[in-house]
Amino acid sequence: MHLLNNKKIAIVGGGPGGLTLARLLQISGADVHVYERDLNKDVRVQGATLDLHDDSGLKALRKAGLMEAFQANYRPGADKLRIMDKHAHIVMDEDERENEPESGEYFRPEIDRGPLRKIMLESLQPGTVIWDSQFVTMSSDGEGWQLVFQNGHTAYADIVIASDGANSKIRPFLTPIRPFYSGVTMVEGVVYDSATVAPTLHQLVNGGKIFAMGDEKTLIFSAKGDGSLVFYTGVKTDEHWYRDNGIDFSDKAQVLAWFKDTYAGWDASWLEIFDQGLPKFIVRPQYCMPLDQQWEAQSNLTMLGDAAHLMPPFAGEGVNMAMLDALELSEWLTSETVSDLRSAIAGYEQQMRTRASAIAKMTMEQTEALHSAGAIDHMVSMFRQSDSPNN
């Protein structure tokens, strides 16, 4: 671990990628802190459940020594998937086989974001995460960086790793390359206590996920362990629709009116999500980094996850890629065969960009297919191929 001897490492962003990296570096004896904008560890973690893949997310957890904790917290059965049409007819039940062994290529267990974060936080040394640290800017300081946070605090680091997501404020210190709009905008919402307030949809989701498609639109549901349903609409819009649509997304009546108009002809049972969802919906235009992006490696700065290779969520690769980034970066930084930090970071970045480019290409193809006239046929065919014994 000679490359990191006497080096202070700052990871900005305490998502799965950043926390995985912190754990892996601490195992190697590195001096690392995570700067997270959340006020504390008890802030509710939003978003749908995560399915971790054997060759990425689960691989990182194994290296981090956290598989036992993971298996005590994941949600068997949450990987059940229903494909439905706009009339709320079930087209296909993709129920992951109950007797599937808890290992291997097709084992993609689901875990809620909150429990995953808790597992990772509890694996770190006390004081590793510095809460209420929203990054503002940084400046060169000798061979390292001086970081400035919104609360007025500052911190020095010899190496900074950007794990601060889609709207990374650190990425511009590495490259001016910006993402392009995918053509699809999502509206995210959540229904708490869905069994009581939205029983029809609660039964349809059946503890797993639903992909409903029709008219070149998607409606995706995911059950969580706390009894809530997270949902996302997916519609082709102008890039700036999120700011120009004139809708107050904190006004449930306006959002419901938009949904009825945009999803005209869809079954009335879908309306439960807007009748019962919290009156705070999040509009998310979906972006993707260029597939051929390049930048010059630095000796004291790099990035992982969405900060490095943002892409739409329709292939389910985002968190898995971030955790694999963390694993690969930790291996490069602690390698005994790499002579200097710039070479280690350059090696990691080349490996990461090559992998991310291939997955981004697949993700953009998937995004287009799910918002096309043949979306249902495409998805049914995809799952039948994955179930084929020759696959």
- Binding site listing for NADPH: 44
Report d(CA 137, CA 135) in Å as an integer: 6
Query: Residue type at 225?
Result: G
**DSSP helix, strand, coil percent of the chain (3-state; round to 5):** 35, 25, 40
- Strand-pairing partners, residue 139, are 146
Report d(CA 66, CA 130) in Å as an integer: 22
Q: What is the DSSP letter of 99?
A: T
Task: For 4, list phi and psi in degrees, rounded to 5.
Answer: -100, 5
How far from 293 is each of 174, 179, 356, 376, CA to CA, in Å?
12, 10, 10, 32
Annotation: binding site for FAD: 51, 113, 306
Q: What is the DSSP letter of 151?
A: T
Q: What is the DSSP letter of 296?
A: -
How far from 61 is each of 88, 135, 327, 382, CA to CA, in Å?
37, 27, 9, 28
Annotation: binding site: 44, 51, 113, 306
